[in-house]
Every structure is written in C-alpha cells, then in structure tokens.
C-alpha cells in the first residue's frame, strides 16, 4: 500500500507541473540557435519557439466552426489552433490563429469539453523538447479561442485520445511512460484541468500494465454501463532512432469506470497495433469496434459477455478491410450517432473506408476499395455534429531524421459530404501548406467541430 500511496502523491503534483522551455528567449540569440541546432538522438534542444508570422483574421460569425490542431511544418514556429468557417457560403475562411508557447510538439488529438468552453489538444512529441504535453484552449468565445494553460503528467507522456467527463475535465490516453517507453497511463483531470490521477494506481492494475505492453492510444467510454475501453498501439520510443523496429501491441484493456480498475485484457492475435476503439452508439450489448493495423481488420468487443474462462469481455473478428488495408501504419475511425455507419482512414493506402454496420452479421461496404480517392495520408476522421459531413485531416506522423515513421501527406483538411446511404462524396478541402506557407507550411492532425445553428442547442464534437 505504500507504493500506491506514493504514486498518488506523485500524481497530485501533476496539477502544478508545467515548465517553460529550458532555454529562455534571448532576442537575436535563441532565434539562430533554434534554427541551426542539429537534431539529437531522441531528445531535442529545448529552445523556445519562433514567434508566429502575422495572419489576416475574419470577423464573420459562421454557424459551423472547425478547429484544427496544427503543427508548424518547420518545427521552429509556435504550434497553433487554427479556426475556420465550415459554413457553405464562407467555407475555408480563416477566422483566427491561437498559438501555444512552444514548438515541435507534433500536435496530435483534439477534443472539446461537454459545455464547449474548453478544447484540449495533445502533443505527441512534446517530450523530446521536455515540454508540456497537454494544451487547453478557452473557447467561450468560439470565434476567438485563447490559449488557457498547459501541463504534463508525472508518470506518462505521448498524449493521444481524449474524452470529456460529464462533471468537467477529461480522460486522456498517454501512450508512453515519462520517457516514452511502456507502460503509458490513462490520465484524468479535474474540472479545472489539473491532472489528478494517472491510472491504474492499484497494485493489481500496475502489475497488469508492467506485465504486458501497455501503450494506450484508443479510448472510448460507455457512461451508462460504466465501462472504459483503451486500445494499445505502439511503444512510442520504438519509432525513434536508434530502433530495431516498431514494437506493436495486440491488446485492449477493459476498465470499470467507477473504480478506474482494469477488469480484463483482451487480445487480437497478431493484431500489430490496435490503434482505435469505439463503442457503437445505442448498441444493446455495448459492443465496440477496434482497428487492428497489421491485419487490416475490424474486431468487435462484447464487454458484458464472459469468455470460456469466466473473464469479462469477448472479442471476435468482425470484418476484413482487404489487402490494401494491411500494414497501413494507422487505422483510425468514427461511428455515426445512430450506430449505422462506420468510417476508417487507411493512412498509407490513401483511402477512407465506409461501412454500413446496421446489421453486424451482414456488413456492407459502401466505398470502392480500389477507388483512387483525392487524399494523401488520411488519418484523423470525425463526423460533424449534424451527421452530414466527414472531416478528415491528411497528416499522421513525420519524425524526420530522428525516427523511422514518416508517412506521406498533403496536409489538407477534407470536408466530405455524407450521402443518405452513408457513402462518401468528396467535395471541399482546406490547404494548410498554402495557408501557412510563411512558417514553412503546416501539419493539421486533428479537428473539433462546433455547430451553433440552433443557439438553444449548440453541438460540440
């Protein structure tokens, strides 16, 4: 019990743990150091960022707003949240740019609080410059987001997926330990966005994640059934040089929401990285779908069933996405709110798959797997709150000279129309390289969409 108490004491420190760049800003000195410092093995020179170039804001007030968590392509200028109009008549109009006080974070996933007043964004590679890994934006004025604060965990780094808590705050998967190895943690914040826990904290759960690779990336929560699912992807440090190859995981963890304890470990044999998992909305058995990257397959989890040994949770193969989906580096997904349609990005296959999952025994493919789609390196996918469009960002990970994962991308945000049958109609895009050419281009990884069409019922997703 002393061990558990000490963990809790360390995590409690997380609420005040936030550090500036280790090298202070010195006009005329650090600018040259920032741009000329050579890459180091794994850790990078912890220099402050270059100030962002000017931009031209817009004073229009669209009903639909897209927020894109974006890295400066040169890794020197500040990373930022870009706010755009998604209305039909003003689509792609840049409303605002909100900088964070650091660079080279490789902005990763993004998610809003339930009240729409705060957006959290994670930094995948913030650890390399010993920077904070979680960034919070005040969106109480949705047209002029403000940087609110940043923080980091004590036991974990490499921020990934996020889910808002009903009482305020977030759950966040951190894929790596404090130094990027396994195990990572499931991080929890309070309503003031202070880190209050890094789960698991019990002895049995700690032994579980020490005994088998725990690299949580995907995160889904069934608030009604009190269940959490996390999916294990890769050990982060293994994508950086020197490396003998990426260490993929084949597992998911099923958690009890109330106690934050791991109930069971579920395995997809030879899954080769289980990047994402999502509960199917409205499913009577709270079934969830996970993506197995090496196999190019979807697997279904029935968390309320028990296996032959009495362990909670049963997992089965659901659907094979075909040969072009094998080893596509990343497969990320979203599911429509009615539970009928499933969408998945196949990053290095340059393809977005669409499935009708209304009958899990008779899944229908809505896209042509051999179609040449207008996308390069699609990754993050999100259905808009009105369920009429799909937002996809064409960028996954590029580690450059220090790593072994560098996926091709065209750095665009795609706004894809959804037909009545759930199929895709490619339409409009936002070109981030063109928009932000004055900072070497930009890498948009993820998005949040606000729909303010009905002022009495605003939607945030």
Averaged confidence pLDDT in the chain: 92
Reply yes or no on whether the pLDDT at 138 is more than 50.
Answer: yes
Task: Identify whether 47 is part of a domain.
Answer: no
Reply yes or no on whether the pLDDT at 362 is more than 90.
Answer: yes
Burial class of 23 by CB neighbour count within 10 A (0 to 12, 13 to 18, 19+): middle
Task: Identify whether 29 is part of a domain.
Answer: no
Count of domains forming the chain: 1
Q: What pLDDT sits at residue 14?
A: 44
Task: Identify whether 413 is part of a domain.
Answer: yes
Task: Identify whether 121 is part of a domain.
Answer: yes
Q: Assign residue 262 the CATH number of its domain.
A: 2.130.10.10
Reply yes or no on whether the pLDDT at 252 is more than 80.
Answer: yes
DSSP string, 116-140: SSEEEEEESSGGGGT---EEEEE-S
**Paired tokens of 226:** 């009190």
- Tens-place pLDDT, residues 85-99: 999 999 999 999 999
Average pLDDT over residues 393-419: 96
- Tens-place pLDDT, residues 26-57: 565 445 445 544 444 456 777 889 999 999 99
Q: Which of 192, 245, 183, 240 is nearest to 217 (CA)?
A: 183
User: Which residue shows structure tokens 């930094």?
Assistant: 123
**Where residue 146 falls among pLDDT bands split at 50, 70, 90?**
very high
Task: Identify whether 31 is part of a domain.
Answer: no
Task: Identify whether 44 is part of a domain.
Answer: no
Q: Which of 106, 38, 30, 107 is nearest to 67 (CA)?
A: 107
| 428 torsion bin: left (phi>0), alpha (psi -120 to 50), beta (else) | beta
User: Which residue shows structure tokens 């420190």?
Assistant: 13
Q: Residue 213 sits in which domain range?
A: 2-14+57-460
In the chain, the percentage of residues whose pLDDT exceeds 90 is 88
Task: Identify whether 329 is part of a domain.
Answer: yes
> pTM for the full model?
0.92
**Residue 88: DSSP 8-state:** T
Task: Identify whether 46 is part of a domain.
Answer: no
Q: Are 392 and 381 in contact (CB under 8 A)?
A: yes
**Residue 242 preceded by cis peptide, ω within 30:** yes
Cβ partners under 8 Å of residue 88, min gap 6: none
Q: What pLDDT sits at residue 19?
A: 56
């Amino acid at each position: 019990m002393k061990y558990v108490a000490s963990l809790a004491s360390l995590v409690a420190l997380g609420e005040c743990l936030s550090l500036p760049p280790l090298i202070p800003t010195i006009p005329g000195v650090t600018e040259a150091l920032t741009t000329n410092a050579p890459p180091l093995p794994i850790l990078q020179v912890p220099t402050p960022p270059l100030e962002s170039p000017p931009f031209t804001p817009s004073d229009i007030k669209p009903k639909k707003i897209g927020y894109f968590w974006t890295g400066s392509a040169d890794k020197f200028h500040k990373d930022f949240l870009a706010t755009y109009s998604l209305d039909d008549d003003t689509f792609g109009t840049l409303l605002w740019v909100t900088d964070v006080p650091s660079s080279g974070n490789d902005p990763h996933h993004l998610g809003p609080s339930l009240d729409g007043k705060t957006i959290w964004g994670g930094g995948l590679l913030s650890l390399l410059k010993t920077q904070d890994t979680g960034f919070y934006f005040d969106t109480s004025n949705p047209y002029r987001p403000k940087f609110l604060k940043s923080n980091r965990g004590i036991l974990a780094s490499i921020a990934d997926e996020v889910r808002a808590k009903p009482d305020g705050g977030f759950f966040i998967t951190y894929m790596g330990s404090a130094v990027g190895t396994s195990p990572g943690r499931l991080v929890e914040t309070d309503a003031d966005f202070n880190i209050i826990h890094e789960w698991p904290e019990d002895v049995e759960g700690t032994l579980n994640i020490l005994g088998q690779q725990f690299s949580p990336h995907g995160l889904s929560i069934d608030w009604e059934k009190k269940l959490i699912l996390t999916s294990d992807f890769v050990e982060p440090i293994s994508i950086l040089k020197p490396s003998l190859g990426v260490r993929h995981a084949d597992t998911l963890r099923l958690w009890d929401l109330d106690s934050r304890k791991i109930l069971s470990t579920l395995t997809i044999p030879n899954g080769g990285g289980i990047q994402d998992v999502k509960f199917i909305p409205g499913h009577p058995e709270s079934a969830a779908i996970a993506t197995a990257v090496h196999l190019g397959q979807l697997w279904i989890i029935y968390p309320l069933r028990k296996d032959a040994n009495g362990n909670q949770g049963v997992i089965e193969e659901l659907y094979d996405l075909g040969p072009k989906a094998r080893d596509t580096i990343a497969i990320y997904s979203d599911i429509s709110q009615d539970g009928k349609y499933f969408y998945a990005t196949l990053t290095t296959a340059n393809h977005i798959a669409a499935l009708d999952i209304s009958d899990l025994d008779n899944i229908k493919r809505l896209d042509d797997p051999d179609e040449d789609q207008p996308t390069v390196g699609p990754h993050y996918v999100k259905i808009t709150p009105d369920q009429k469009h799909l937002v996809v960002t064409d960028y996954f990970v590029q580690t450059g000279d220090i790593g072994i994962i560098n996926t091709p991308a065209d750095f665009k945000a795609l706004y894809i129309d959804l037909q009545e049958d759930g199929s895709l109609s490619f339409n409009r895009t936002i070109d981030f390289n063109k928009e932000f050419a004055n900072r070497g281009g930009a890498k948009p990884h993820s998005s949040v969409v606000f729909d303010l069409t009905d002022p009495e019922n605003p939607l945030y997703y």
